[in-house]
Structure 1
Amino acid sequence: MISIKDLSKVFHTKDQDVTAVDHLDLNIEAGEIYGVIGYSGAGKSTFIRLLNRLENPTGGSITIDGQEITSLSKNKLRLARQEIGMIFQHFNLLWSRTVRDNIAFPLEIAGVPKEKRQARVMELIELVGLKGRENAYPSQLSGGQKQRVGIARALANNPKVLLCDEATSALDPETTDSILDLLVDINEKLGLTIIMITHEMHVIRKICHRVAVMENGKVVEEGEVLNVFLHPEQAVTKKFVDQVMGDPDQEYSLALIHERYRSGKVLRLHFVGESTNQALISELSRKFKLDLNILHGKITQTQKGAYGTLFVHVEGDHDEIEKAKTYIKQTSVEVEVIPNVQ
C-alpha cells in the first residue's frame, strides 16, 4: 500500500543544515494501523508531512497505492491528496463554521454537488458519533467532540489513508481512549490504512498492529507491536515500553532487591497471549521445593493479544531453581534471571 524508500528531509538554515528525516525505509500494508513513535525532535512530524507533501522531500520516494507522490505535479498532487486524510493535534477547525459546515468544507473544495455533499456529511456525523451536534460551533464542543469533527472532515472524500499527527495528545486519558476506539472502528468498517504519529506508547499499545520507533530522523526499531513489547532492542524503545508496563527499576529498584534478597534469584517472567491466564506460580510452588515471593507485575493488552511481566523472588536449592526455570521454559512463558542479584 505505502512504500517509502531512502526518504530524507534536510532543512537548510543560515548556520547549519538540519536533517529531520534520514534515509528512511518503510513498508505499510493496506488496512493496517501503523504507529510511528518518537520523542520530540525524532523527525516523526516531518515524516508524516512528507507523506502528503506538506513538506517536499530532499531525497527518496513515497509510493501510495501504486502512485509515486514525490514526483507529482501540483495539479495531480491536489487530486492525490483527496485520498489522504489528515487529523491534527489541535483540531484545525474553522471556528466560524458549524460541525456540518466544517465536515462539508473539503467536499466543497472538491466540487461535490450540494445534495450529495449533505448526504455524505450526515453519514459521517453518524459514523463519528456527533448526531444532534451538527449545528454546533467548535467553541461549543469538548476536545473529544472537536477531534471527532476533525476525523469526519478527514474522511469526507473517502480517503485510502488517514494520517494522525499526535491526534490524542491534547486530550485527557478517557477521551483519548474513546477517540482510539473510534479509529479502530473506522479501520475495521472502512478498511482504511491509518498511520499514527505519537509519543505515547499507550496509543501504540491500544490500537496499532505494527510500530516504527524513530530517533534522530531514523527508524531504529520496527515490528509487530506485541513483539516490540516483548523484545525491545533499543534503549529508546525500552523507555517507551516502560510507559505502559511501568519501570521495575523505579517501582522496585534492583538495589533494593539486592539489599533485601541476598540469596536465591529474582526472575522476570514474560507472559504472552493465553499464557497470561496460566496459574504458573501456584504450579511452581506445588511441583518444586521453593519459596516464591511476587515482587511486581503487570498485564496489558495489544491488538495481537495480552502481554505481561512478573518479577518473582525464588528461594531454594540451586538445582531446584534450575529445574523450575527449565519447567517454565517448556511452557509459553519466557523467563530471565535479573542480573546483579545473587
Structure 2
Amino acid sequence: MLTIDNLVKRFGRVTAVDGLNLKMKKGETLVMMGPSGCGKSTTIRMINRLVEPTGGSIHFAGQDITALDADGLRRIRKRIGFVFQHFNLIGRLSAWENVMLGLVMSGMPREEAGARAFESLTKVGLESQRDKKPGEMSGGQQQRVGIARALAYEPELMLWDEPTASLDPILVREVLVVMEELAKYRASTMLVVTHELSFALHVADRIVLMDKGKIVEAGLPSQVFVTPSSRIGQQYKELIEYQMNTSASTLAGKRIA
C-alpha cells in the first residue's frame, strides 16, 4: 500500500532524513519511534507533502506522491488522514462544525457532510459534545475532535504525528483508547509517530526505530523490545524493564504497608 524509497530531506546543511526505505501493507499498524530530532515527524509529514522531500519517492495506492501536481495532491490527501500534535481547531466553530468544514469545502453537500461528521464524532465517543466549542472542551476531547476530522474522510491511510505530545499525562489515555480501537478494527492502515511505549507494545504490528535520520531497526514488538539489535532498541528495552521493576516495587511496598 505504501512504499518509500531512498527518502531524503535536507534543511540547509542538516540532513533530517537520510535515505529512508519503508514498506507498509494494507491494514497494518506501524509505530515509528526514536529520540527527539531523529527525523520521525519529518518523515511522516513528507508522506502527504506537508514537508517537501529533497529526494526519493513515496508510492501510495499506485501513485508517486512526490510527482503529483497541486490538483493530484489535493485528491490524494483526501485518502490520507493526518492527526497533528496540536489540535488546529477553529475556536468559533463547534466540534461538529470543525469536523464537517473540510468536507463541505471539498464539495460534499452540507447534509451529507453533517451526517458524516456526526458519525465520526460517534467513533471517538464525542457525539454528546457535538455542539461544544474547543474552548469548552478538555485537551483530550479536542484531540479526539481532530481525530474525528481525519476519520470523516474515511481515509485508507492514517498518519499520526505524536498525537498525545500536547496533552497532560492524565488526558493521554483517552486518546490512546481511541487509537487502540481504530487499530483493532483495522478500518485503515496506520503509521504512528509516538513516544508512548504502552501503545507500541499493545497495538503495533511492527516497530520501526529511527536515529539520525535513518531506520536502525524494524520488527515485531516482541523482537525489537526483547532482543534488540540496535543501540536505540537496547535503550527502549532498558526503559521498559525499569518501568516494570518500578511498578513491581511500588505494588510490593503497598502490600507491605
- Structure 1's 189 and 204: CA in aligned 2 closer, same or farther, altered over 3 A? closer
Residue 191 of structure 1 corresponds to which residue in structure 2? 187
Q: 2:157: which partner in 1?
A: 161
Name the structure 1 match of 2:120: 124
2:142 paired residue number: 146
| Equivalent residue number for residue 9 of structure 2 | 9
- What is the RMSD of the two structures over their aligned residues, measured on CA atoms? 2.0
AA in 2 matched with 1:51: I
Counterpart amino acid of 1:3?
A: T
**Paired residue for 2:91, among 87, 95, 101?**
95
> Displacement of 1:188 after TM fit?
3.5
Aligned letter for 1:86? Answer: F
Q: Contact 1:84 / 1:162 at 8 angstroms: preserved in 2?
A: yes
* 2:225 is equivalent to residue 229 of structure 1: yes
**Higher percent of residues as strand:** 1
Matched, 1:18 2:33: no
CA drift at 1:192: 0.7
Are 2:146 and 1:177 equivalent residues in the alignment?
no
Aligned length: 249
The match for 2:254 is none
Cα separation, 1, equivalents of 2:243 and 2:135: 40
What is the match of residue 281 of structure 1?
none
SS of residue paired to 2:164:
coil
- Whether the 8 Å contact between 1:106 and 1:156 is mirrored in structure 2 is no
204-213 vs 185-194, which deviates more?
185-194
1:28 Cα deviation (Å)?
Answer: 1.0
Work out whether residues 31 and 191 of structure 1, in 8 Å CA contact, stay in contact via their aligned partners in 2: yes
Relative to the length of structure 1, the TM-score reads 0.69
CA separation of 1:187 and 1:42: change in aligned 2, threshold 3 A: same
Q: 3-state SS of the aligned residue for 1:246? A: helix
Q: How does 1:1-342 map to 2 (within 5 A)?
A: 1-12=1-12, 17-189=13-185, 191-246=187-242
CA distance in 1, matches of 2:140, 2:248: 32
What per-residue deviation string (whole Å, max 9, x for no partner) do you get for residues 272-310 of structure 1? xxxxxxxxxxxxxxxxxxxxxxxx979xxxxxxxxxxxx
Distance in structure 2 (CA, Å) of the matches to 1:197 and 1:38: 9
Once residues 182 and 160 of structure 2 are traced to their aligned partners in structure 1, the CA distance between those partners, rounded to angstroms, is 13
The 1:120–1:190 alpha-carbon spacing in structure 2 relative to 1, beyond 3 Å, is farther
CA distance in 2, matches of 1:211, 1:190: 17
Q: Which has the higher helix share?
A: 2
Q: Are the equivalent residues in 2 in contact too, given 1:209–1:225 (CA < 8 A)?
A: yes
State the Cα distance separating 1:178 from its structure 2 match: 2.7
TM superposition shift of 1:190: 5.1
| Distance across 1 between alignment mates of 2:110 and 2:248 | 57
For residues 70 and 243 of structure 1, the distance between their equivalents in structure 2, rounded to whole angstroms, comes to 37
Deviation of 1:173 (Å)? 4.1
Cα distance in structure 1, aligned partners of 2:231 and 2:136: 43
Q: CA deviation at 1:206?
A: 2.8
Aligned to 2:92, the other structure's residue is in SS state coil
- Are 1:103 and 1:121, in contact at CA under 8 Å, matched by a contact in 2? yes
SS at match of 2:88: coil
Match of 1:307 in 2: none
The amino acid of 1:88's aligned partner reads F
Greater RCO (Cα-Cα under 8 Å, separation 6 or more)? 2
Taking only the aligned residue pairs, the percentage that are identical comes to: 39
Q: Secondary structure at the match of 1:10?
A: strand
Q: Indicate conservation of the 8 Å contact 2:160/2:191, yes or no.
A: yes
Q: Which blocks of at least 5 consecutive residues in structure 2 are unaligned?
A: 250-257
Letter matched to residue 90 of structure 1? H
After TM superposition, the runs of 4+ consecutive aligned structure 1 residues lying more than 4 A away are none
Equivalent pair of 2:208/2:217 in contact (CA under 8 Å): yes
Are the equivalent residues in 1 in contact too, given 2:183–2:203 (CA < 8 A)? no
Instruction: State the structure with more CA Rg.
Output: 1
Pairwise CA distance, 1:174: 4.7
What amino acid is the match of 1:234? Answer: S
For residues 198 and 185 of structure 2, the distance between their equivalents in structure 1, rounded to whole angstroms, comes to 23
Q: Name the amino acid aligned to 2:11.
A: F
Q: Deviations over 1:152-177 (max 9, x none)?
A: 00111111111111101223445323
Q: Tell whether the 8 Å contact from 2:28 to 2:186 is kept in structure 1 after alignment.
A: no
Structure 2 length-normalised TM: 0.91
